[in-house]
């Protein structure tokens, strides 16, 4: 997805065990990548969104251009989540006339 700098991306991550029971109280391991290289200047913010179904919200703000992606691992369940790749461009490169559709 193509976005401009300054935009905050929010993604929902499900944390459940092998029986689909919610697993909460988790501290995720995380890594962030720009253009395929590890980048420590951005750390995804992770918070519990809904404990009864085990969903967490992971977010980051795109402060620099390039292809952004993040990795999360739930150490309790060993489940790994890898986000979509977000192509971050400067304001001058961003086409505001384009329609963006997001869905599951």
Which residues does residue 89 pair with via DSSP β-bridges, in sequence order?
A: 4
pLDDT digits (tens, 9 = 90+) for 79-101: 899 999 999 998 777 666 666 66
Give me the residue spans of the domains in the chain: 2-91
Determine the Cα–Cα distance for residues 8 and 6; give it in Å rounded to an integer. Answer: 7
Q: What is the pTM of this model?
A: 0.81
Query: Which residues, 6 or more positions from 72, have their beta carbon under 8 angstroms from its beta carbon?
Result: 13, 28, 29, 30, 44, 46, 58, 80, 81, 82
2-91 CATH? 2.60.40.10
pLDDT digits (tens, 9 = 90+) for 19-69: 999 999 999 999 999 999 999 999 899 999 999 999 999 999 988 999 999
Identify which of 34, 33, 29 has the alpha carbon closest to the alpha carbon of residue 13.
29
Identify which of 69, 83, 91 has the alpha carbon closest to the alpha carbon of residue 4.
91
Output the CA–CA distances (angstroms, integers) from residue 96 to 44, 64, 67, in the order listed.
Answer: 26, 18, 19
66-74 vs 29-34, strand pairing mode:
antiparallel
């Amino acid at each position: 997805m193509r976005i401009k700098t300054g935009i905050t991306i929010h993604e929902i991550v499900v944390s459940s065990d092998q029986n689909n029971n919610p697993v909460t109280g988790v501290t995720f391991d995380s890594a962030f990548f720009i253009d395929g290289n590890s980048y420590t200047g951005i750390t995804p913010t992770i918070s519990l969104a809904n404990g009864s179904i085990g969903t967490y919200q992971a977010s980051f703000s795109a402060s620099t251009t390039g292809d952004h992606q993040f990795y999360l691992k739930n150490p309790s369940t060993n489940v790994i989540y890898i986000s979509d790749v977000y192509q971050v461009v400067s304001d001058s490169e961003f086409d505001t006339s384009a329609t963006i559709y997001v869905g599951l």
